[in-house]
Each structure stands twice: as structure tokens, then as C-alpha cells.
Amino acid sequence: MHWAKILGVGIGAAALLGLGIILGHFAIPKATEPLASSVSDSQDLDLAILDSVMGQLDASRIRENLRELSKEPHVATSARDEALVQLLLGRWKDSASGLDTAKTYEYTVLLSFPSTEQPNSVEVVGPNGTVFHSFQPFEKNLTGEQAEPNVLQPYAAYAPPGTPKGPLVYANRGSEDDFKKLEAEGINLKGTIALTRYGSVGRGAKAINAARHGVVGVLVYTDPGDINDGKSLPNETFPNSWGLPPSGVERGSYYEYFGDPLTPYLPAHPVSFRLDPHNISGFPPIPTQPIGFEDAKNLCQTYPHSHSLLPSNLNGTSAPDSWQGALGCEYKLGPGFEPNGNFPAGSEVKVSVYNRLELRNSSNVLGIIQGAVEPDRYVIYGNHRDSWVHGAVDPSSGTAVLLEISRVLGTLLKKGTWRPRRSIIFASWGAEEFGLIGSTEFTEEFLSKLQERTVTYINVDISVFSNATLRAQGTPPVQSVIFSATKEISAPGSSGLSIYDNWIRYTNRSSPVYGLVPSMGTLGAGSDYASFIHFLGITSMDLAYTYDRSKTSARIYPTYHTAFDTFDYVEKFLDPGFSSHQAVARTAGSVLLRLSDSLFLPLNVSDYSETLQSFLQAAQENLGALLESHNISLGPLVTAVEKFKAAAAALNQHILTLQKSSPDPLQVRMVNDQLMLLERPWLSETRQEFYACLFHVLWAPNTASVATFPGLANAYARAQEINSGAEAWAEVERQLSIAVMALEGAAATLQPVTDL
């Protein structure tokens, strides 16, 4: 963890409180027209307006948005990225369909780029330096778009420059356990180059783990067994199917944390304190380069290539069954190559990386609709703008939907037929691909204001992975509003089902309260919701359409972060007709209107009770006995869970009573504030070194095997390790206390405001 982030939290909070008061440039602006005099404090969701919006969200307009957004590569801070900033400003300032205000917020951030003069390279070299094999520096030009001048060479962002050389070892997915397994097999990893597969652990963690064991360079590839259901031949992959082509390379940030690396906990403005680049933690410590599985096959498989299983080109013993992939050969561990393989004896792999760090100006674009009754309550809808190449799926499918929703709402606004009860903020975040930078800088700059005023954050990053079913992730209170919205919207296709009923066919769970319901996912740190939920404690969600997991084991859509993620790829393979994009627009639009227009916020805090009860049960069943043997009682946790459940149920009953009467506006406001603020008490004052900014007591990373409170589970797992002593068990007790205090704080938030 960055020591400056820890030090800066107290200073930053005080400074940002002042910023929230005195900075006028983020203040919700005055409406361009006076608010209608007929607007009253009792304004509620207008179902006629909701139906009108649903009918106006147009699949063909979303299609044209996507064509425009993805026609050129637009990596963060590039000329095309800036052109898209102007496109968004133009749309949101349009006289017929624009919003009240649109403006940019610029940050000076540290990014990482490959050298245009000296491309990164991977070679097999002999003892005397003779090059026996060179890997392709760019993806093959299959559709004409991969050779465009602004296509960024595949690289590992933030990996340091260097030219390490050494014998090759195969390290599976590059986890700590994987490298320990190699050492247990008697392999000396010092001075080696490790070949690893994407998956299991984060990109940057592969290099960090490798360096810890003496590895000097890392190669990362996407195995066809993980993305293409084993298919790897050119006629089986794009442009002949949705599969990743053999030359496809997943780019990505290898920075472990998020936000601008130089200004932890501070917005990246010129006046902010910046770390020395040499003191930044979370960067890969050794040169790292991603490659395509075609190049990985050249390392591992003997010639001639065929579809049948061939001997390995690597030396050493066979890799475990769980490490085997779909390159068409037996995976061996190394080190080095077989004497009778493709390369002469003593050949090594040389990785040449020429990446460089650069300070660049990156912009967020915000479009604002002022609320008619509660302009100081914000519903934020966000999506990032930057991509690694054309980015038709990631993120332009989300931006295409965002633009269509804002067009329809802006048109109603300009006609004077609608204005939301609460303010709506549309956000296009910059530099997300480098580590959620734009959204994180924004939350760091406006921490106090956002914590005090934000009702919910809605994230639609990739809106369509494929066209089978909805995928929704979020904190438990958003379940009810998503379910309500999806029950009223038809699913794409001819089934005649609602999105809700179609969703339940693909993924469901049995709820003790509701019976069979669709499964909601939880929020990790994979997109711009991360700083809102984990840093600010704001109720958040992420919405998308996705594929049928019974028909593919792909960990994500196959052309992710490659030069093959293009408009034609989307139109031909993911969503012909753009009906799934339209379904996401309707779902997100309905949720947005319900949250911004409903008199009482449609957030069911009692839905947290199921999560808490399951966490408690897991702790009792899996941790309880050993905890008792160390004189650690789960009794306070049981009491705290019951206290929360009672407070949530009482608040729900209070809301039902108010809804049956003519509530005073102040009563409504007080209840809504309780619903809005529920997520804040879950933020722990402790900081987790292994994952910057993730302080949420319930949703921080759980690296243990027990599905309970993450801090407790992780501390318990560490205390069970060999040679752990009293100090480790004291940490378990401390983490238990943190969970109890968070529960009691949440319960207190829900209790009547007169109960001081």
C-alpha cells in the first residue's frame, strides 16, 4: 500500500471538505430555464414518462453511436480520445436534446506507453546471440483495421523497460502457489523467463510473484482453452467466428492499484504533491510482455504444427493436469528447450521492453440535469471512454448506450415535459484502462460532497458481452430496483419473456424471502464503480448483457483488449440488430428514472439481511470451533447481525406507513437519507496493503476460502499458517471487532433519527 495514501487520507479529507464548500465549478448549476412552478415536493415517478422513455430508446441510434465511437483507436489522451471529449460535449450541449450543463474536469496523470521508435520484442536467441525466432510485434491484419496507424502495439502498461534473457519456464497462471510448485519440482527460477497464462490472478500480480522467486522477465498469453473453448485454428476464429485469432494479444494495465500512481488520495492537479516515480509500489518489478497464443505455441510445441497433440518443445517434466491448456502439445515446465526441439541447445528467450512513463492530461466529461425538488441529491451514471484500440465492446458499447439514454432524457428536458426529482449526472471517465484513473481522481477531488449527496452510482462499462441474458452486479439494496425494472421490459428475441424471466432461466438462486430469483453478482474492482463503493461507500451497481455460460467457458468475450474488438465484430457476432444494447439501455434507463424520480428511494435495505445472515452462518460453521479454542467468541457478531436485521425491518415498516399517508417532505427526506447513507458505515478505517482503496468491510477482496466477512476470513486464514502465534490471532479478533462495529454503525444509520 502507498504510505502516502495512508498519510494523505486525513489531510485529504479535511482539504476536500473545504473544496466541497468553496469550489463552485462542480456545483450543480442553475437550470437554464426556471423550474416549473407546478413542481411540488410530492413529485413521484411518472409511469407515463417512464413508458415514453422506454419507447424512445432506439436500437438503430445506439448502433450509429457505436459506429462513430469505435471507428478509430482511442487510447487515453490520444487525439481521437480528445475528439470524443468534444463529441460528448457537443451532444450534451445540443439545443434540442442536450442537458442543463456539460463540462470537463482535467487531471495530469502518469500513463505508460510503448515506444513508437523501438517496438517491444520477444526472441529466441542462441548462446552466441544468433536470433532463431522473432515474435510478431503486432497482430495480423485480418480485416484492414489492425494495420491502422494509431493501433497501439500490444504491451503491458507500467511494465519497466529492460532486456532480460534466460531459459524459459512454464508457470501456469503466475500465482504465488504456481511459482512455489515449480520450486518444489526442483526448478531453480533465478534468471529465468516465465511463460504465464491470463486468469486466476491479476496481470500485475504475475510479474510481482515472478520477481519474488528470481524470475527476470514474464510473458503472458491467452490460452485458447480459456477463451475459445479450445479452438485455435484460423478458420475457427475471428473473422470466421467470435473466437480470438491466434495473433490476438490482450493489452492491459499491470498496475496493481487504481487512480493516478503519483497522487494517491489526492486529485492529480498541478498543485498536488506527487510521489517520486521510483517510490511507487504496485508496478511490475521486471520487464513483462503479452503475446498471442500463436507465439506461445511456437515456444511450447515442436514443428510441424498440426491439430493433433505433439511433443513439447520445452524441457523438463510434464506440467500437472490442471496446468495443461489447448496449444496442441503437452505442456512441460522447463527450464529451457528440448535438445532435439525447434531451437539449438542452450537457446534462451530474450524479452526486450521499451515502455516509457509519461505525464498526460486526461479529461472526464460530465453532463448534468438539475433536480427539480432535491437538486443536492445525485444519481450518477458512468462509463469510461478510453480503449486500448478501437474498443467497440470495451467501452464503446457502454458509451453508445449512455449517449442514447441522455439523448432521450435531454429531449424531454428541452421540451419542458420532464425534469427529475433529483439531479442526474452522466459521466464519461478518462483513462480507465490504465487503472480506473478518471473516476478515482474525481472521487478523490470531491470526496466530501459525493459522500454527502450521492444516492447511487450506476456503471455501464461493457453494455453487451453477448446477447443471451442480463448480468447485474451490485450491493444488496439495488436488487429490488433492478428486479422491478426488468420485470417490465421485454427480453430481446421471440421468447415473449421479460428480461427478468429470461434472466432467471440462465442464473438464479433460492432466496429464503423471495423464493427463486435471478442471481446478482457482487462488485469487485474491475470497473469505475470501485472508488464509489470501496472508497466512498456509495450504493453501486453494474449492468450488462452477457453470454450463455452453459455454451462457453470463455472468461470474457474473446477479442477483449485486442485490435479485433471492432464495430463489425459486435454487429456480426455479439448483437446483430442491437436489440441487446437496446435492452441494456431500457434497463439502465428505467433504473435511473426510478432512482431519480421516486418519492421514496427504491432501495430495499432488508435485502442486506440475507447477505449478513449467510456471512454469519459461514463464520459459525467454518471458523467458530477454532475461534472458541482461542477464546474468540462470535457472540457479538450474532448480536450485531440481529440488531441490523431488526433496524432494517423497522425502517421498511416505517416507509410503508408513510407511503399510505401524506408524508411531510421532511419525513421523506429523513428516510431517504437513511437509505442513501447505509453503505457508508461499511467502510473500515483500516487499510489493506494488498489492495489500495478497498476498505469495504463486506466487499473487500476475500483471499480465503470461507465466504464470510473478508477481513475476518483473511486474518483467520493467515493465523492458521505454520508458526503463526498470538499476534496473528489478535489480528483475527481485531478484524472481528471491525465487522461488529461496521454492523452496529449500519444498524444505527437505519434506526429512527430520534434514537440518538
Residue recorded with cell 500500500:
1
Q: Is residue 83 part of a domain?
A: yes
Q: Is residue 709 part of a domain?
A: yes
Q: Provide the CATH number for the domain around residue 256.
A: 3.50.30.30
What are residue 442's phi and psi, to 5 degrees? -65, -45
The yes-or-no answer on residue 432 being catalytic is: yes
Residue 721 has a pLDDT of 85
Which of 309-313, 417-421, 692-696 tops mean pLDDT?
417-421
Domain that holds residue 72: 31-112+357-597
Average pLDDT of span 562-583? 98
What are residue 48's phi and psi, to 5 degrees? -65, -40
138-161 pLDDT, tens digit each: 999 999 999 999 999 999 999 999
Closest C-alpha among 232, 342, 360 to residue 293: 232
122 and 107 assigned to the same domain:
no
Residue 385 has pLDDT above 80, yes or no: yes
Closest C-alpha among 28, 27, 21 to residue 372: 28
Q: Is residue 205 part of a domain?
A: yes
Closest C-alpha among 515, 379, 535, 569 to residue 444: 535
312 and 171 assigned to the same domain:
yes
In terms of DSSP bridges, do strands 454-459 and 540-546 run parallel, antiparallel, or are they unpaired? parallel
Residue 344, preceding peptide bond in cis (omega within 30° of 0): no
53 and 68 assigned to the same domain:
yes
Confidence (pTM): 0.92
Q: Provide the CATH number for the domain around residue 714.
A: 1.20.930.40
| Joined grid coordinates for residue 531 | 472508488
> Alpha carbon of 711 to those of 538, 619, 623: distances in Å?
20, 12, 13
CA–CA dist 587, 432 (Å, integer): 24
3-state secondary structure of 160: coil
CA–CA dist 619, 715 (Å, integer): 12
Residue 1 has pLDDT above 80, yes or no: no
In terms of DSSP bridges, do strands 515-518 and 508-511 run parallel, antiparallel, or are they unpaired? antiparallel
350 and 437 assigned to the same domain:
no
Query: What one-letter code names the amino acid at 27?
Result: A
CA–CA dist 136, 468 (Å, integer): 35
532-559 pLDDT, tens digit each: 999 999 999 999 999 999 999 999 999 9
CA 706, 708, 714, 718 dihedral sign is negative
Among 354, 387, 411, give the residue marking a domain's end: 354
Q: Which of 145, 374, 404, 432 is labelled catalytic? A: 432
Region of residue 441 (left: phi > 0; alpha: psi -120 to 50; beta: else): alpha
316-347 pLDDT, tens digit each: 999 999 999 999 989 999 999 998 888 988 99
Query: What one-letter code names the amino acid at 529?
Result: Y
Q: Which of 301-315, 442-456, 728-742 has the lowest mean pLDDT?
A: 301-315
CA–CA dist 4, 468 (Å, integer): 45
Among 328, 354, 380, give the residue marking a domain's end: 354
Among 354, 371, 392, give the residue marking a domain's end: 354
Q: Is residue 9 part of a domain?
A: no
Confidence bin at 685 (pLDDT 50/70/90): low
Residue 310 has pLDDT above 90, yes or no: no
Residue 664 has a pLDDT of 92
Strand partners, 422: 374
218 and 121 assigned to the same domain:
yes
Q: Is residue 700 part of a domain?
A: yes
Question: What share of the chain has pLDDT > 90, as a percent?
Answer: 85
CA–CA dist 696, 693 (Å, integer): 9
554 and 408 assigned to the same domain:
yes
> Which positions ≥6 away from 81 have C-beta within 8 Å?
74, 75, 385, 386, 430
Q: Which of 186-200, 268-282, 299-313, 691-705 has the lowest mean pLDDT?
A: 299-313
335 and 390 assigned to the same domain:
no
399 and 336 assigned to the same domain:
no
Average pLDDT of span 490-501? 96
Residue 200 has pLDDT above 60, yes or no: yes
3-state secondary structure of 648: helix
Average pLDDT of span 426-447? 97
37-70 pLDDT, tens digit each: 345 677 899 999 999 999 999 999 999 999 999 9
- Give the length of the chain: 756
228 and 350 assigned to the same domain:
yes
Q: Which helix (H) or strand (E) holds 510?
A: strand 508-511
Q: What domain count does the chain have?
A: 3
Average model confidence (pLDDT) for the chain? 92
Confidence bin at 505 (pLDDT 50/70/90): very high
Q: Is residue 5 part of a domain?
A: no
Q: Is residue 257 part of a domain?
A: yes
Residue 620 has pLDDT above 80, yes or no: yes
121 and 106 assigned to the same domain:
no
Residue 755 has a pLDDT of 83
CA–CA dist 756, 11 (Å, integer): 29
734-754 pLDDT, tens digit each: 999 999 999 999 999 999 988
Confidence bin at 269 (pLDDT 50/70/90): very high
Q: Is residue 88 part of a domain?
A: yes
Confidence bin at 4 (pLDDT 50/70/90): very low
Average pLDDT of span 432-436? 98
Q: Provide the CATH number for the domain around residue 473.
A: 3.40.630.10
Q: Which residue has the higher pLDDT, 703 or 150?
A: 150
663 and 526 assigned to the same domain:
no
Confidence bin at 309 (pLDDT 50/70/90): low
Residue 111 has pLDDT above 90, yes or no: yes
Closest C-alpha among 224, 353, 389 to residue 292: 224
Residue 20 has pLDDT above 70, yes or no: no
Q: How many CB atoms lie within 10 A of CB 684?
A: 20
79 and 190 assigned to the same domain:
no
What are residue 616's phi and psi, to 5 degrees? -65, -45
